[in-house]
Amino acid sequence: MNKNGQKEMTLTGQFYDLDDGESITSAVLRNDGSEIAFDLSHSDGCNYTVSLKRLQGSLFKGTAISQPGGDVAELSCRVYQDTSEGVTLIVGSGWRYPGSAHNYRWQVELQAD
């Protein structure tokens, strides 16, 4: 407890410096926000089509398909929405390609027009 008698919680985590953002186009939210799809133009020279579906609560799973190449990554993330501000924040915990042990963390911020 702290000096005011309030219970304190000790947390750990990681900080990610995201620097410059990548361009996202054609973002769509469907079925009351249970499905999210968007196109991403990445600095690696590829374009990605991302499709996400709610699994449970804020947990979403989906895929990212690269062009050119057609490689399919399996995605997992948490989606948080602030409807009063028109902001959707996607915090990606998984971006994995089949046969690869590497996992990429990712983040997306979508804003209503």
Work out the pLDDT band at 2, boundaries 50, 70, 90. Answer: low
Higher pLDDT among residues 112 and 9, named by residue:
112
Taking the C-alpha atoms of residue 47 and residue 66, their distance in angstroms, rounded to an integer, is 6
Q: What is the pLDDT of residues 20-79, one digit of tens each?
A: 788 887 899 999 889 999 999 888 888 999 999 999 999 999 999 999 989 999 999 999
The least confident of 4-8, 40-44, 108-112 is: 4-8
Query: What number of residues does the chain have?
Result: 113
- What would the DSSP string read from start to end of 87-104? EEEEEEEEEE-TT-----
> Looking at residues 104-109, what average pLDDT do you find?
92
At residue 10, does pLDDT exceed 90? no
Higher pLDDT among residues 65 and 16, named by residue:
65
Higher pLDDT among residues 2 and 21, named by residue:
21
At residue 1, does pLDDT exceed 60? no
- What would the DSSP string read from start to end of 12-29? --------SPPEEEEEEE
Taking the C-alpha atoms of residue 30 and residue 20, their distance in angstroms, rounded to an integer, is 28
At residue 81, does pLDDT exceed 80? yes
